[in-house]
Structure 1
Amino acid sequence: MPREQQNTRLVAVVGPTGTGKSDLAVALALALDGEVINADSMQFYRGMDIGTAKLTTAQRCGVPHHLLDVLDVREEASAAGFQRQARDVVAEALARGKVPILVGGSGLYLRAALDVLEFPGTDQAVRRRLEAELDELGFESMLSRLLAVDPVSAGRIGDGKRLVRALEVHELSGRPFSSFMPVREYVRPTVQVGLSLERSVLRGRLADRVHRMVGEGLLEEVAELDRRGLRAGKTASRALGYRQFLRVMDGQAGIDQASAETIVATAQFARRQMTWFRADPRVGWLDAQRPDLLEAALTAVRESAVVGVRLKNDD
């Protein structure tokens, strides 16, 4: 068993899109005798390959990959569902003596897998009733109701949808919605490796990637997924690139315009991702362009494993 594997239970490779997380995850898996677990919410979907930069079978280099291609484009992804699946896969990999390596840029999904985080239940009947009451009584009246049972949430909420959700959670659970907020507490020992790039370099890389996707057949992929019900999918239809190229299908934009819009939207998304991950002090950051990236990542894994991390339990 490699020395690194003896001290490490779970590794996560995080950061903004376009920084090479998937490639590093494969390299780490090969070095650590590990398996990769996808935490990119758009790579859950079968057929969404080019537009999500999903690694090909050859690029996976024989490393087992989990939670890729598990949903039809009509299905809705959920962080709660992913939490259950990812934790099961992690436990199964550990039972086989493998190092599980989560990789992706979907911040909430990663937090769901790594951290102490509860997802409150939902009830469509209760929600519809509360929505009707909101229409009848108005925002301020319903906010006053929430203030009486959950002043923390009431002070944060500024729209009807979140107001209804907070009231629904309290009615179903008897607990304030604010009590379900995540804490930065791992459910098992974890090392997070973050990849970053200087902003102008990342913008150029993202633009090149979009143009490459178009050359590889992104429009044809969107057309095929459209025939399979892409527009009916609440999650998949909003994916970067797919949303823009559906407009090409509808004659509302040309390929050049859709490409430019995708580049802008992807750069904006990358900035939001960086803001999310930078807020987590547990992430150890590496320059994605450094020539010794793999060795630096392995060093980070070893040192973090030896020093230890704050965690809830080590089961």
Structure 2
Amino acid sequence: MSDADAPAAVDLIAVVGATGTGKSEVALSVAERLRASGRPAEVVNADAMQLYRGMDIGTAKLSLDERRGIPHHQLDVLDVTDEASVAAYQRGARADVERITSDGGTAVLVGGSGLYVSAVLFDLAFPGTDPELRAELEREHAEQGPEALLARLRALDPAAAADVDARNPRRLIRAVEIASRSEVVTPRLPSAPAVWRPARVLHLHRDRSELVGSLHDRAARMFRSGLVDEVDALRAEGLEHGRTARAAIGYSQALDVLHGRATEAEAVEATAIATRKYARRQVSWFKRYEAEVLDVSGTDVAGLQAVARRIVP
């Protein structure tokens, strides 16, 4: 790449991609190289489940030691009984980015939660909640199941119905709630979204066959590392009363083990299947970004660090 072709310098770098592509290592290495060159750099998390305190193993959250002295933001900001709000996240994450960059630094946004990443990068508006309507929709879902709500959503907002994961009650109910209010539209990534501020977006891609195998290994490793014990401890913090946290991939499967509804082997397989489906949705979401696509197939940690050296020579 010539100097003329090199991307313009920006103070916001986003590292995105599917689960298991190595985003955390690339983001850390990019931040380290920036700091080594004399430019302050800090990481801003964009993984919705890493917002929760105590949800560490199942979210692959970096420990303090693994963060290598680099400040991280938007980690451990919610209790497991709290409901995650992308609007609240948008405010908090953008404030972090503004503070980091106003001090002359670079913010490295990293995560695979598509809507959360987009909430920072693009001009997306998020409507508030209507508690009465939400309660009504929750009752309808409990009594009639998802099909009635999905049919209503198709009538109100066909595009939202095509995008929503109807197997996720929280997301389906939220989509119907928003679509039922005529003054707002369902937040989704437009075909040509306006950017919030200039950013360099790095989309990590790993060959599908390689990714599928690694995701099963990832699920097995989480359970070997004590995910069931972590979930058991979080039950005392109210995990099963949280709308968002209890449904996280790996956590709902570990709850099945604790309740005797599944063996650990069955939970590992269910977690791997759910993660593969989620990864497919992530790939579809991030394909719509105007980004630098970086093929990380076949790379280990050293290879991911080499990717970072190409980003920050």
Which TM-score tier does this pair reach, normalised by the shorter chain?
0.7 to 0.9
Aligned to 1:45: 52
Aligned to 1:166: 179
The one-letter amino acid of 2:104's match is: G
Aligned to 1:71: 78
CA contact (8 A) 1:118 1:180 kept: no
Aligned to 1:243: 252
Match of 1:18 among 17, 20, 23: 20
- TM-score when scaled to structure 2? 0.79
Give, in angstroms, the shift of residue 165 of structure 1: 2.7
The 5-angstrom pairing of residues 44-193 of structure 1 reads 44-125=51-132, 153=157, 161=173, 162-168=175-181, 170=182, 175=183, 177=185, 182=190, 183-193=192-202
Give, in angstroms, the shift of residue 242 of structure 1: 0.6
CA contact (8 A) 1:222 1:246 kept: yes
Give, in angstroms, the shift of residue 288 of structure 1: 4.8
- Show CA shifts across 1:79-103 (max 9, x none): 1110000000000111222210010
The SS at the match of 1:101 is: strand
CA contact (8 A) 2:205 2:293 kept: no
Match of 2:32 among 21, 26, 30: 30
Number of residue pairs aligned between Structure 1 and Structure 2: 283
CA contact (8 A) 2:178 2:184 kept: no
- TM-score when scaled to structure 1? 0.79
Mark the CA change 1:231 to 1:116 in structure 2 (over 3 Å): closer, same or farther: same
Aligned to 2:282: 273
Aligned to 1:220: 229
CA contact (8 A) 2:44 2:110 kept: yes
Mark the CA change 1:280 to 1:251 in structure 2 (over 3 Å): closer, same or farther: same
Q: Percent identity?
A: 42
Any unmatched runs of 5+ in structure 2? 1-5, 36-40, 167-171
Task: State how far apart, in whole Å, the 1-side matches of 2:79 and 2:104 are.
Answer: 31
Mark the CA change 1:276 to 1:252 in structure 2 (over 3 Å): closer, same or farther: same
- Give the structure with higher Rg (CA): 1
CA contact (8 A) 2:203 2:291 kept: no
CA contact (8 A) 1:50 1:216 kept: yes
CA contact (8 A) 1:5 1:32 kept: no
- Show CA shifts across 1:109-134 (max 9, x none): 000011011112333246668999xx
Aligned to 2:3: none
Match of 2:204 among 195, 198, 220: 195
The SS at the match of 1:177 is: coil
Aligned to 2:270: 261
CA contact (8 A) 2:125 2:187 kept: no
Give, in angstroms, the shift of residue 62 of structure 1: 0.5
Task: State how far apart, in whole Å, the 1-side matches of 2:65 and 2:81 are.
Answer: 28
Mark the CA change 1:210 to 1:167 in structure 2 (over 3 Å): closer, same or farther: closer
The one-letter amino acid of 2:128's match is: G
Task: State how far apart, in whole Å, the 1-side matches of 2:278 and 2:272 are.
Answer: 10
Give, in angstroms, the shift of residue 176 of structure 1: 5.1
Task: State how far apart, in whole Å, the 1-side matches of 2:129 and 2:176 are.
Answer: 14
CA contact (8 A) 1:51 1:218 kept: yes
Mark the CA change 1:288 to 1:98 in structure 2 (over 3 Å): closer, same or farther: farther
Give, in angstroms, the shift of residue 156 of structure 1: 6.0
Give, in angstroms, the shift of residue 233 of structure 1: 0.8
Mark the CA change 1:208 to 1:300 in structure 2 (over 3 Å): closer, same or farther: same
CA contact (8 A) 2:210 2:297 kept: no
- Show CA shifts across 1:60-83 (max 9, x none): 110111111111101011111100
Mark the CA change 1:30 to 1:205 in structure 2 (over 3 Å): closer, same or farther: same
Mark the CA change 1:181 to 1:121 in structure 2 (over 3 Å): closer, same or farther: farther
The one-letter amino acid of 2:99's match is: E
Task: State how far apart, in whole Å, the 2-side matches of 1:131 and 1:232 are.
Answer: 15
The one-letter amino acid of 2:233's match is: E
The one-letter amino acid of 1:96's match is: D
- Show CA shifts across 1:1-36 (max 9, x none): xxx999221000000001111111110101112111
The one-letter amino acid of 1:277's match is: F
Task: State how far apart, in whole Å, the 2-side matches of 1:298 and 1:186 are.
Answer: 26
Aligned to 2:38: none
CA contact (8 A) 2:93 2:120 kept: yes
Mark the CA change 1:246 to 1:297 in structure 2 (over 3 Å): closer, same or farther: same
Any unmatched runs of 5+ in structure 1? 147-152, 303-315
